[in-house]
Structure 1
């Protein structure tokens, strides 16, 4: 009769899912919003205390009877963030987030120090990109020297919440591979990249130990009391939000492709071996379940459609009707939706571009469609790199807030030319964290089931939301995508400075 819970600490909100595995039923889904601190230099930050407060708020909204039945939980957290913590566990400064592009110059300096981008890929499997944790350390050393001097432990957002829950400092391979320091081939820290980040300090001493994917920790008694859960609750290692979304969409075995349409957009595919690209067209991450997760990330997805909705004074949920009222290709309107800079394509200093305006397409509906198409084409740009490398997929499993849009689901099917399924459990990352907790709890009890077997048992598609490509629209989208690429080629030299 026990339950498992998944906590997803994202950029916009904290979500908690409570799952009854015996009945295969979600018994509670709650959320609490988060504020974002934005600066003109590309800085994007949050206060870690706000995450903790949001977690408490979420648990307060769950029926006490359900909370009392929770046996294990796990945390999914936004990747790449930097939470500086002192020896006593105090947070020293706001957390710089994945979408923070203020440290672009620091990325270049770190890679120059090891011999360039190719050398960084040789050392870790990935370059140090804008938003990755590594570049946030020299930025903090320069701009927040007092905090940097007192730094004892480097924690990612999900690591910090685990620290709050358990009182222990640890990380795991999936989220750690997004720091820029982890050699994903060997699953060990790169001494060369750590030294390049700060040659005057042993940053390795600030990194927490890496826990195994199925490890369990005891919840701190004080936190159990604050959340209203039993003092016997176990905390699984959890992982980065993309890694937990992979679990929640069943993308834990080869051949599956998952897409997340959230603030950022992601594509990821499970592999039993490292999948590293010499041109860094994707992130060669580890999974949080013992494998690898080649991943493509765009920094502007629902943020683009929501920005357009705010601009014209309507709610994003009204956008489907506007998309249906306009033709594929938005009447020639093209948006490069790089409002937060961009990672795919690699334009950290990029800005949004709206092109092709004329007297017929300058309408809220056309601009909204152009934003949705632009976000989708950015993901298609990354998908093309997967295909060029020989990866093949039969279907797309879609998650994230954008997946709630029927128009967006159909657009993905039409642009990618693949059928689209949507998991019955909409909160992919939170649900994935709950399943990871279930897996770890069962393994601790002697059950040898693999995470893939757990996913096959509990991850199901909602047949009412599945869509297939419409061949009547495919040519129009193909032409619009070519226009997108042409505009991208034209502005890239300008946006790279």
Structure 2
């Protein structure tokens, strides 16, 4: 299943909505491909990498090759595509102004990659490691040694930035769940965390299904959030706890889809993103997910991944340089399987209701 983020869907949109312009498209580059090409002085041959190419909808990570017929089907005519560089390749040299050139040799340009691929490289993920990123949306990704093909469409079989694979499941609602709950309760994020920790696991039976503005995992674009189980004993603490647990259960579902699609057990969970700074999220994540959660220090891991890739290309080594995570804190808690059970009950009942309306 192709979602709007894939390049092929953008090409089809151009074909359908700009039919007068579509025939003039001769070559398709991703933003980082264009930047690389421009920095290198606009050579005859443009380059990309496996990671970003795997998000186009017309590249096969399993075969490491373009599927140009799919790009042609999307746009309506053949187009030129960039060469796919090796992950550690130096693809060119930056063309500098004359005064900069006189100062020394031109900087070399690495292959580049996509944001999630760079984040995985910056985090130093190994096979079986799972990164849970809690930003505006939520991302669960894992490094796999083999390609992934998920017929449900919930897990996208990307390539990573090292020559391996990066299957990924994405939710539309993550940190915005915390933002919304805090606004409704009239508290800041610290206040939300304090309230959530005052309630018992399971929030007294209150469950939040956090599909606030539609959802991608599961695929419910027209859904809204559902708050279930309120009684006369329900207070702000239970609502706050239900918000945090609902967010974590949604990410746990995404993680389960990853495991099912890859057949690969989870070795380690690394949690990052703005939502990972919330004290209640950190404390409750190992209880909901059922295993330890590692939270590294705040950093721009996409940028660190780009730096690691550049260092790899400059070093000319077989593997990327070792990259230690800063200030890792490990959180542990007794598992609370009943939290996921009551969440799954509400999720499945609403799924049945949505089917009945279809």
What TM-score do you get using the length of structure 2 for normalisation? 0.84
Offset at 1:261? Answer: 1.5
Q: What residue is the counterpart of 1:109 in the other structure? A: none
Matching of residue 377 in structure 1 with residue 252 in structure 2: no
Q: What residue is the counterpart of 2:106 in the other structure? A: 232
Give the Cα separation in 1 of the matches to 2:212 and 2:163.
35
Aligned length: 350
Give the Cα separation in 2 of the matches to 1:387 and 1:147.
43
Q: What residue is the counterpart of 1:98 in the other structure? A: none
- Is the alpha carbon distance of 1:400 and 1:243 closer, same or farther for their aligned partners in structure 2, counting shifts above 3 Å? same
- Give 3-state SS (helix, strand or coil) of 1:344's partner: coil
Matching of residue 292 in structure 1 with residue 180 in structure 2: no
- Is the alpha carbon distance of 1:388 and 1:214 closer, same or farther for their aligned partners in structure 2, counting shifts above 3 Å? closer
Matching of residue 214 in structure 1 with residue 110 in structure 2: no
- Give 3-state SS (helix, strand or coil) of 1:235's partner: strand
Q: What residue is the counterpart of 1:469 in the other structure? A: 333
Matching of residue 191 in structure 1 with residue 82 in structure 2: no
CA contact (8 A) 1:172 1:211 kept: yes
CA contact (8 A) 2:190 2:279 kept: no
Give the Cα separation in 1 of the matches to 2:249 and 2:289.
9
Higher mean alpha-carbon deviation, 339-348 vs 390-399, is at 339-348
Q: Deviations over 1:286-319 (max 9, x none)?
A: 1121111122222221122223334555443543
CA contact (8 A) 1:286 1:292 kept: yes
Q: What residue is the counterpart of 1:478 in the other structure? A: 340
Give the Cα separation in 1 of the matches to 2:346 and 2:95.
51
Q: What residue is the counterpart of 1:433 in the other structure? A: 306
Offset at 1:281? Answer: 4.0
Q: What residue is the counterpart of 2:77 in the other structure? A: 201
- Is the alpha carbon distance of 1:324 and 1:237 closer, same or farther for their aligned partners in structure 2, counting shifts above 3 Å? same
Q: Deviations over 1:2-25 (max 9, x none)?
A: xxxxxxxxxxxxxxxxxxxxxxxx
- Pick one of 276, 301, 309 that aligns with 2:174: 301
Offset at 1:348? Answer: 3.4
CA contact (8 A) 2:144 2:166 kept: yes
CA contact (8 A) 2:134 2:272 kept: yes
Give the Cα separation in 1 of the matches to 2:349 and 2:34.
41
- Give 3-state SS (helix, strand or coil) of 1:458's partner: coil
Offset at 1:425? Answer: 5.4
- Pick one of 319, 322, 326 that aligns with 1:450: 319
- Pick one of 414, 425, 429 that aligns with 2:287: 414
Q: What residue is the counterpart of 2:118 in the other structure? A: 244
Q: Which runs of 5+ in 2 are unaligned?
A: none
- Give 3-state SS (helix, strand or coil) of 1:435's partner: helix
- Is the alpha carbon distance of 1:143 and 1:357 closer, same or farther for their aligned partners in structure 2, counting shifts above 3 Å? farther
Offset at 1:450? Answer: 0.5
- Is the alpha carbon distance of 1:158 and 1:314 closer, same or farther for their aligned partners in structure 2, counting shifts above 3 Å? farther
Offset at 1:194? Answer: 2.2
- Is the alpha carbon distance of 1:434 and 1:414 closer, same or farther for their aligned partners in structure 2, counting shifts above 3 Å? same
Question: What root-mean-square deviation, in Å, do the aligned CA atoms of Structure 1 and Structure 2 show?
Answer: 3.0
Give the Cα separation in 1 of the matches to 2:93 and 2:144.
31
Q: Which runs of 5+ in 1 are unaligned?
A: 1-126
CA contact (8 A) 2:168 2:258 kept: no
Give the Cα separation in 2 of the matches to 1:149 and 1:314.
54
Give the Cα separation in 2 of the matches to 1:149 and 1:439.
40
- Pick one of 29, 44, 47 that aligns with 1:170: 47
Give the Cα separation in 2 of the matches to 1:163 and 1:131.
22
Offset at 1:414? Answer: 1.0
Give the Cα separation in 2 of the matches to 1:133 and 1:490.
33
- Give 3-state SS (helix, strand or coil) of 1:266's partner: strand
Q: What residue is the counterpart of 2:201 in the other structure? A: 328
Q: What residue is the counterpart of 1:354 in the other structure? A: 227
Offset at 1:419? Answer: 0.8
Give the Cα separation in 2 of the matches to 1:400 and 1:241.
13
